[in-house]
Copies of this chain bind each other. A is one copy, B any other.
Amino acid sequence: MNASPETALDWSDLDRRAVDTARVLAADAVQKVGNGHPGTAMSLAPAAYLLFQKVMRLDPADDQWLGRDRFVLSAGHSSLTQYIQLYLAGQGLELDDVAALRTYGSRTPGHPEYRHTKGIEMTTGPLGQGIASAVGMAYAGRKERGLLDPEAPAGQSPFDHHVFVIASDGDLQEGVSAEASSLAGTQELGNLVVIYDDNHISIEDDTNIAFTEDVLARYAAYGWHTQRVDWTNDGGQYVEDVDALHAAVQAAKAETGKPSIIALRTIIGWPSPNKQDTGAIHGSALGADEVRAVKEVLGFDPEKTFEVTDEVIAHTRGNVAERARAAHEEWDAAYAAWREKNTDAAALLDRLRERALPEGWTSALPTFEGGKAVSTRKASGEVLSALAGTLPELWGGSADLAGSNNTTMKGEESFLPEKRSTKMFPGNIYGRTLHFGIREHAMGSIVNGIAVHGLTRPYGGTFLVFSDYMRPAVRLAALMGAPSTFVWTHDSIGLGEDGPTHQPVEHLTALRAIPGLDVVRPADGAETAQAWRGILERTDRPAGIVLTRQDVPNPVRGDGAADGDTLASAEGVRRGAYVLAEAPGGSPDVILLASGSEVQLALAAREQLAAQDVAARVVSVPCMEWFDEQDDAYREEVLPAAVRARVSVEAGLAMSWRSLVGDAGRSVSLEHYGASGDYKVLYEKFGITAEAVVAAAQESI
């Protein structure tokens, strides 16, 4: 909602003093803790102040305001840039917090952390992630409008807002930002504004050694609106022309058909007399002498630290509060009018804000005919299509593998400007199917941006082996507790002929290693439906659902617990591991543990062992993390400590199974790379067979 007319910039002496105060605080804070990044926080203070005090719609009294603009500090190392503005704006941080920078337990850690500090919209620091996820936030803004208020004229919906980003040289060097920026151009994200701190300095000093490209020409090639504001006046007198920057920001906002980037040429660390324009000021404390020098240049008392006058703080907080009051009032009226006219959408919004699932939603989950083989990727596709009507918040796509990942809900349009429609994919700016191109990393970051923006539940798919390409985004999702869902198909040598470059071996282990990520590998159609259920029920953590390319049996199951030769229902999936088949006679000699496509091998081995009078229980383990959440009683029930003979079988490394099988146990696993060939041949050649499980069981007993 952008109804307020733009006015000329009011930039008083008090604003200038407030900006200089921000610089001095940055120098003091880093000096106090002895390490950190003062340079950008100093030279970029006018830009950040402009955004927080004069441009963005925000309300310190309502940090979850739906109408707020989003701010992402992609240059997360310059966390002070954001912390100091949050302090000046009265958004929850106080001077003591600024002084506690980078100390244990403070609200001002080295890099901004989502859900740790109020006002931080996402965790940043790993370069490129901020700008790439901001692209996702801009997607989310458009999508949410489409779900809730699609008919409103542009700029007139309470759901219209902007996403602002401050990005550094490092952000724009990282490939993930290139991937996401290209997509932002394709998507014509007019709600995205990036200020690029073009300061020619990174840790190795002058960027001429590694960053000589024409950045704005590159962004123009992506289809962005580009502007340059040069405070160095092409190497002449350094003048912080805030008016020029403000005009550029207004022009960027006015361009509604393209994302915008403003290259702001600054001198890092300005006005530090001796350390400006060096790599040293990027990432180290200035030293006591230089901090004094900065204060002297700026007319501050060099004997004082953390000096903020009452007048400055009253001005900055008063200004933000007044702007917030006016904006919120105007927005509240529009929002109330919208609610009144759109009762269904309002009810949907209320549910989405709670991240609640609709009552009875699980009845929409499909069932799979017992005895009929199906690949779990196909089953997953059926689950998604079946849920489409019930869960409008669920949307996603693939990194150019839609047909292989089965990520497209049937009959849904693509999230695309209409003019990008192709024969196969009709486009609609409010569509549901996402196309990331061959850009797994940006996919992960964009999905994260959508997830932390709120309201909707995004997913993104690729082959499991290419989870490596998106790993920094997956980790960040886990660190933030963002409900991103990653769909990873072609999950083992079972993909066959594409060979070792495409066959994951170590990936399940490597992903299980990420704290806070659920790795869910269902065994069949029934487990796939329950896997999605378990994932969607959890709203405070990401998950990866790991699926087969090849068909797997979908065995006939009973309705309850395993009993005799009747298999358990798949409900146990949501507990992470469960007894799928009881040992003949009920008292197991050995427990066979398996996940995904190898569960069938455990079941076959159980039968072969029965013929040898060995009673084997089969435990299906779709998600180790969910099993870890269960109480000791349930875990003991599934895996009685007294039964030390255990065998795990999974077409990947044994490492993550080691603690479940114990010293007496064995693992049927794959400890080396795969090969190109028919998958049945590969399973045989590499010894991942029921016979191998039987032999391992005999050894283990």
Contacts and interface: CB of A to CB of B under 8 A. Distances in A.
Interface string A396-429: 0010111110000000001010001111110100
B653 A513 contact: yes
A198 interface: no
What 4 pairs across the A-B complex have the smallest Cβ distances?
A: A175-B175, A104-B677, A109-B676, A210-B437
Given A173-B437, A505-B515, A515-B506, A111 B209 contact: no
A113 B127 CA distance: 32
Contacts of A453: none
Contact of A655 (B210, B402, B441, B655): B655
A682 interface: yes
A133 interface: no
A115 interface: no
Contact of A175 (B420, B427, B439): B439
Given A497-B35, A678-B103, A173 B208 contact: no
A182 B176 contact: no
A414 to B, nearest CB: 6
A436 interface: yes
A491 to B, nearest CB: 15
A421 B208 CA distance: 7
A537 interface: no
A319 interface: no
Contact of A125 (B186, B421, B499, B515): B499
A497 B436 contact: no
Contacts of A106: 676-677
7 contacts: A110-B676, A124-B501, A173-B437, A186-B209, A205-B422, A210-B437, A513-B513
Interface in A153-177: 169-170, 173-177
A102 to B, nearest CB: 4
Interface in A183-214: 183, 185-186, 202-214
A655 B497 contact: no
A513 B507 CA distance: 8
**Copy total for this chain:** 2
Contact of A499 (B113, B170, B213): B113
Contacts of A672: 515-516
Interface string A649-684: 000010110110011100000011101111001100
Given A215-B221, A423-B206, A174 B173 contact: no
Interface in A489-518: 496-502, 505-506, 509-510, 512-516
Contacts of A126: 465-466, 469, 501-502
A438 interface: yes
Contact of A210 (B186, B203, B403, B659): B186
A177 B178 CA distance: 10
Contacts of A221: 213-215, 217-218, 221
A26 to B, nearest CB: 15
Nearest to A35: B497
Interface in A98-141: 102-106, 109-111, 113, 123-127
Contact of A471 (B77, B203, B471): B471
Contacts of A113: 499-501
A388 to B, nearest CB: 19
A179 interface: yes
Given A182-B213, A501-B123, A515-B506, A176 B175 contact: yes
Interface in A251-309: 279
Given A110-B676, A126-B466, A209-B437, 9 more contacts: A77-B498, A105-B677, A109-B500, A170-B438, A173-B438, A175-B176, A178-B179, A205-B423, A468-B472
A222 interface: yes
A435 B205 contact: no
Contacts of A105: 675, 677
A497 B204 contact: no
Contacts of A479: 500-501, 673
Contact of A513 (B208, B414, B498, B510): B510
Given A213-B222, A515-B673, A677-B102, A439 B173 contact: yes
A187 B530 CA distance: 53
A170 B440 CA distance: 11
Contacts of A658: 655, 658-659
A105 B513 CA distance: 33
A215 B681 CA distance: 42
A400 B203 contact: yes
A676 B113 CA distance: 10
Contacts of A671: 515
B506 A208 contact: no
A605 interface: no
A442 interface: yes
A538 interface: no
A197 to B, nearest CB: 13
A33 interface: yes
Contact of A173 (B179, B205, B213, B653): B179
A174 to B, nearest CB: 6
Given A656-B655, A673-B515, A497 B110 contact: yes
A46 interface: no
A372 interface: no
A36 interface: yes
Among A103, A106, A210, A515, chain B packs the most CB atoms within 10 A around the CB of: A210
Contact of A501 (B76, B400, B513): B76
A112 B662 CA distance: 39
A36 B497 contact: yes
A218 B210 contact: no
Contacts of A170: 400, 437-438
Interface string A207-248: 111111111011011110000000000000000000000000
Given A206-B422, A209-B414, A678 B175 contact: no
Contacts of A514: 506, 510
Contacts of A109: 499-500, 675-677
A502 B220 CA distance: 32
B185 A425 contact: no
A513 B655 contact: yes
B35 A175 contact: no
B425 A209 contact: yes
A475 interface: yes
